[in-house]
Amino acid sequence: MKSNRVRMAVAAVVAGVALSGCGVQQAGTAAYVGNYRISSSELDAQVREFHKALARNGMTERQLGFGLSLPQMVLYRMANAKQFIEYGKRAGVTITQRQVDDTVIARGGDKEMEKILLVNGIPPSMRDDAIRAMLIQQTLVQRLGAGQDEESQNQAYRKLVEQADAAVPVRFNPRYGKWDPERGFVPDDRFGAVPTEGPLG
């Protein structure tokens, strides 16, 4: 059975993030990605932007059915993009703006891409970074032997997650939820149960 982490990793639009089990207690900090600090105010701003984008597209948070709180999902996506962009630099993978723009076009243009981002818990202003993270991961899993079959893809993503986590560890503030290295966010008294399957399946 695939873990929640791997399910997120093989999502069609944006793959998963490896968050370490070490917490961050510093006030005003949501997470550290390597040496990069994601502040609580930065996360709050992204959540507010997400709500505005939902309204603009006639969508509701309930319709999305993430199985995570919105701050958890957005924080997850922010950490994902930062981690893999940094890891891509270290691995020698460069994604050009042309590649990002071509991906947007291939997904149906700006409006359709925004809807895809929202379905995956990504605020519109994170679009370019999220796409870069996805393209970096696609490149690196191919290097690690991913084929067309699900088994080889899962194995390659697991290796990639392990390598990225070792090179660019992510620590997040436990106020945003409990993190398990294998299962991802897990139930706690503040956020409730997290389903084993979600819309990103």
Within 8 A by CB and 6+ apart from 201, the residues are: 7, 11
CA 96 to chain CA centroid, Å, is: 20
CATH class, range 4-10+29-176? mainly alpha
pTM for the predicted model, two decimal places: 0.80
Decide: 185 and 67 in contact? Cβ < 8 Å: no
Q: Residues of the chain with pLDDT > 70: what percent? A: 76
Cα separation, 194 vs 187, whole angstroms: 6
126-135 core/surface letters (b: 16 or more CB in 10 A; e: else): bbbbbbbbbb
Maximum mean pLDDT: which of 8-12, 98-102, 147-151, 156-160 = 98-102
43-74 core/surface letters (b: 16 or more CB in 10 A; e: else): beebbeebeebbeeeeeeeeebebbbbbbbbb
The domain spans of the chain are 4-10+29-176
Summarised one tens digit per residue, pLDDT across range 50-80 is 999 999 999 998 888 888 889 999 999 999 9
Within 8 A by CB and 6+ apart from 137, the residues are: 9, 15, 84, 157, 160
β-sheet bridge partners, residue 180? 184
